Amino acid sequence: MSKKATIIMGVMLAIILCMQVVLISKIDKVHKDMISSDNFASQRIDVITSHIHELRNMLGDIIE
């Protein structure tokens, strides 16, 4: 291979490596966002469930 072809391949490999680093960082951000939204949804479900239990207890006290 000529020196020019070797340089071109090196540049292309560097570009591919940079693209992979950017892609990995974006995937990591999406993963963190998914975990955060999952935690948020879980907290909301817990709040709603506790409200339902409070209402059931209140209705049980009223009925008795």
Maximum CA extent, the chain? 92
Determine the Cα–Cα distance for residues 60 and 49; give it in Å rounded to an integer. 16
pLDDT at residue number 40: 82
In this predicted model, what pLDDT tens digit does every residue of 6-46 receive, in sequence order? 999 999 999 999 999 999 999 999 888 888 887 888 888 88
pLDDT tier, 4 (very low <50, low <70, confident <90, very high otherwise)? very high
In this predicted model, what pLDDT tens digit does every residue of 43-60 receive, in sequence order? 888 889 998 988 888 888
- Main-chain phi, psi angles of 62, to 5 degrees: -70, -45
For 22-46, letters b (16+ CB in 10 Å) and e give: eeeeeeeeeeeeeeeeeeeeeeeee
- H-helix segments, 1-64: 3-63
Q: What is the pTM of this model?
A: 0.56
